[in-house]
Amino acid sequence: MSPDVERKDALRALLLHPMLTADGPHADELLLVRRHREHLQRLCAEGLGYRLVVEPKVARLFKAGLGRNGTRPLRKRSSTGQGRPFEPRAYALLCLALAALSRCPAQLLLDELVAQVRSAIADAGLAVDLDTVSDRRALAAALGTLLELEVLVERDGDLARWAEDGATQSLLDVRRDRLRLLVAAGLAAAEGPQDLLDAAALPSAAGGARVAVRRELLENPVLSVEDLTDEQAEWWRRSRSREAEWFRDNLGLELELRAEGALAIDPDETLTDVAFPGTGSARHASLLVLERLVAEIRDDARQSGATWWQLAGDAVERAVATVAADHGRGLRKAYADLDLLRADVVQVLTDSRLLRGNQLHAAAARYAPVTTYAEGLF
């Protein structure tokens, strides 16, 4: 494997898994990161405004995020696909759990950690009661994220069961080398959560518009020029052809340049946490709904030249009902509930940045299928 390919693979791994560990599922990628540490640290700092820390057994990419943008929340663990977004209480309990873990021994029982979290809740003056199922579930979601990041290791027990009964015990290991690398922004100057988001999202001193636009393309599947500042939009108009080369050379992503912005497409279909079109009934239904929405407004929308196409007030509901009537037998049984089907379709299209309220992005036209039926099936 050539050095260029190794560097590209290493950076893709870091973007998809910002914490790589020697004893985790991405140990091979950590070896590549260590091998090309200096190049990757320089590329991340100068190209993206990200800080990369590389140690013998762990590498941590401090991705700054998009600031006050709620489109990419943490999600709860789920065995059936993408979990539900964190609610504010789960975020608060994640922060309190991190504070508690900083004072805990390297190995402890779950009830010992819960006691520390209760103490932190009292110190913070929060109205959280871990004797209720809803708040235990929120804490379990927070701890589940730490398990995914391998900051915690569950030696024995069942965290999900504890969330329901409050009694099931677990033995936890605390990986302190990872815990200290987890928090991305300092707390000293912050007066509230928005200050932390703003501090984390600041471009590097040399980055400016370049860093901001590259982050947008990496974190979201669709870039819209109208959502950029004047400075960013001007930089994009001058630089978009060069940027297509940068994304291809460093990340293996192909930029589809469009009048309204761009799409960053991965030919390997691996550098994403939100697959679209993808598999499963929700995504299949979403494509079929797109077909109907685009067909309804395509001519008028194209003439307008707008990035976001305005839909009729009941357009989504009508499209979902039509898809259910025409293709209900091919969807999972739960989607006999039209409200559930509509909610899931809206979530898929919103996560993919193709739907915003009652507006459809112009890029939706490239995904809208033309349905045909094999002879004799229907």
The DSSP letter of residue 143 is: H
Q: Minimum mean pLDDT among 14-18, 39-43, 74-78, 245-249: which range?
A: 74-78
Average pLDDT over residues 36-50: 94
- C-beta separation of 67 from 216 below 8 A: no
Q: How far apart are CA 226 and CA 304, in angstroms?
A: 15
State residue 330's pLDDT score.
87
State residue 371's pLDDT score.
65
State residue 194's pLDDT score.
75
pLDDT digits (tens, 9 = 90+) for 125-138: 889 999 999 999 99
Q: Minimum mean pLDDT among 27-41, 118-132, 247-261, 272-286: which range?
A: 272-286
Q: Is residue 112 classed as helix, strand or coil in its secondary structure? A: helix
Within 8 A by CB and 6+ apart from 65, the residues are 72, 197, 200, 201, 219
- C-beta separation of 318 from 367 below 8 A: no
351 closest CA partner among 261, 286, 268, 257: 286
253 compared with 278, residue with greater pLDDT: 253
pTM of the model: 0.83
Residue 95 reports pLDDT greater than 80: yes
The DSSP letter of residue 47 is: I
**Percent of the chain beyond pLDDT 70?**
89
Q: How far apart are CA 251 and CA 248, in angstroms?
A: 6
Residue 262 belongs to what H/E stretch?
A: strand 261-265
Tokens of residue 368, six digits: 């809208």
